[in-house]
Structure 1
Amino acid sequence: MAINREIWTIRKVLEWTRGYLAEKGIDNARLEAEWLLSASLAMDRVGLYVNFDQPLNQDELAAFRGRVARRARREPLQYILGSQEFCGLDFEVTPAVLIPRHDTEVLVTEALRLASDAKTVLDIGVGSGCIAVALAKALPAATVSGIDASAAALAVARRNAARHGVDIALSEGSLFAPLAGQRFDLIVSNPPYIPSADLATLQPEVREFEPVTALDGGPDGLEFYRLIVAEAPAHLAVGGWLLVEVGIDQAGPVTALFAAHGFGDCFTAKDPNGIERVVGGRAPERRPQ
């Protein structure tokens, strides 16, 4: 947007930005323009429409131009705005964490359906903390823990836990390493599951901005499932549940992993788009030593 003394009203700014973002390949360009302008003016979208003819001052234009430039470079809107809604809760997001997806909400829904009486819960790869916080809010009597290999991600998760008034025990480390000897009634995880070769085909917003360590699932996308499913029995209480999110066409092989490691009552659950998005199973019975 050229810097000049032309009067830029809310209406004119939105019309210009819609066209500009559309040229850059942004879907829902008008809606995104409204979100970006709402953030710049500290005004909700209804306020924009009520004040269509209000002119922007130079400071407001400068703040808005900066946000539009970032979005035009395909930086995710959620990182620009600094937040994303998940399970009806607002979460801080930064480039240190994967942006929560609504598809993942089915993991929370299934966990609550199967383990509403869980007293101890573990989230592996806690990221922003969206899953752990949602479960902690829904299960106030439970002790919820989370693990992540990224210290930066854990810092975001801590802030999100504080934002929503829940206490989550967060540990830095790989998979179960920080929790030797501990057992849980419910273990959940949304691990990296994109096959390494497919990373280059992802949208620029994902490929260039989201943390690759939260995306790369190894050569076939199943690397972390093999590790989690193999180690989980040693960390599950009797009758405890393990639930994981999976990618497209991964439910079958992940279910086979569950069965191979003795899990019972295995099931899959679909997301709102009809994709099998969750695989779960009950801890295998312990054999006498």
Structure 2
Amino acid sequence: MTRRRDALAGAAARLREAGVASPEHDAAELLAHVLGTTRGNLPLVDEVSGDRVAEYDALLARRAAREPLQHLTGVAYFRHVELSVGPGVFVPRPETELLAGWAIEHASEGSRVVDLCTGSGAIAKAVADEVPGAHVHAVELDESAYAWAERNLAGTGVDLRHGDFAAAFDDLLGTVDVVTCNPPYIPLDAWESVAPEARDHDPHLALFSGADGLDAIRVLADRAARLLRPGGVLGFEHADAQGESAPGVLAATGRWSDVRDHLDLAGRPRFTTARLAR
């Protein structure tokens, strides 16, 4: 038997040495996962049995190798919903909850919402959960990610399709109220700056987008303009270094009004919104 406090302290030190950004948090989440409880209930545990310690140690080794925490637990939490995630799908980040919140604020009963590049289905599932009267549609190209989205969106009423966002939803052209997207936006030459958790484990289709990182956003600006009704709104995420260039893509087309950029909770540029000109 090992004392819980000792197990957590040793685990956090090990993860910190490996360069994990949140060692205490991840150590606790992994121990809770091994014990079948929650991080909040860990103080109720005094000792950890030998077989559980061995299981914990194996997971810590994988996390120290920078395998994403959510791949080890199989779960990601996004706003009020739970998502199944693992190899082959982009793990949703907390920053994207702000974009989802914006979409939820602009959706209403009977409105039509389209989530392009849905990945795990995080934004689509959150909108369907918090605006149950909305008609939510989502599309994903990558086969592995699509399988995860299919699993996460089962029973939600979301219309999920497998295909390229650049040509998706021809049957909805000119009728959509809200378009959301978390597109790939990392420049190809920024490979080394990407955290190992993303660079080595997230699908590259979900990460990289041309020399300046804006290729997918250029495609999005055109496709969203075709999907939205006049006065409909678009919101999409971008890199923190694209607080001017991403909105600039929309502004340059002359098809959008009310182009605004928004900060995340850390004060960094994070997502752009705009309205299709009437």
What is the TM-score normalised by the length of structure 1?
A: 0.88
The 5 A counterparts of 1:1-289 are 7-52=1-46, 54-58=47-51, 60-116=52-108, 119-162=111-154, 165-183=155-173, 184-261=176-253, 262-285=255-278
Task: Determine which structure has more spread, i.e. the larger CA radius of gyration.
Answer: 1
Aligned mates of 2:273, 2:45 — CA distance in 1: 50
What is the CA distance between 1:98 and its match in structure 2? Answer: 1.2
What is the CA distance between 1:55 and its match in structure 2? Answer: 4.1
Aligned mates of 1:131, 1:264 — CA distance in 2: 24
Q: Are 2:81 and 2:129, in contact at CA under 8 Å, matched by a contact in 1? A: no
What is the CA distance between 1:141 and its match in structure 2? Answer: 1.5
List runs of 5+ in structure 2 lacking aligned partners: none
Q: Secondary structure at the match of 1:238?
A: strand
Deviations 1:131-153 (A, max 9, x none): 01111112212211111111221
Q: Secondary structure at the match of 1:240?
A: strand
Measured on the aligned residues, the alpha-carbon RMSD in Å equals: 1.9
Count of aligned residue pairs for this structure pair = 275
What is the CA distance between 1:118 and its match in structure 2? Answer: 6.0
Aligned mates of 2:267, 2:230 — CA distance in 1: 32
Seen in structure 2, the aligned counterparts of structure 1 residues 16 and 112 have a Cα distance that, compared at 3 Å, is: closer
What is the TM-score normalised by the length of structure 2?
A: 0.91
Seen in structure 2, the aligned counterparts of structure 1 residues 115 and 98 have a Cα distance that, compared at 3 Å, is: same
Deviations 1:210-244 (A, max 9, x none): 11111102110000011110222221112211111
Q: Secondary structure at the match of 1:102?
A: coil
List runs of 5+ in structure 1 lacking aligned partners: 1-6
Q: Are 2:8 and 2:27, in contact at CA under 8 Å, matched by a contact in 1? A: yes
Seen in structure 2, the aligned counterparts of structure 1 residues 168 and 15 have a Cα distance that, compared at 3 Å, is: same
Aligned mates of 2:110, 2:61 — CA distance in 1: 46
Aligned-pair identity in percent equals 32
What is the CA distance between 1:100 and its match in structure 2? Answer: 1.1
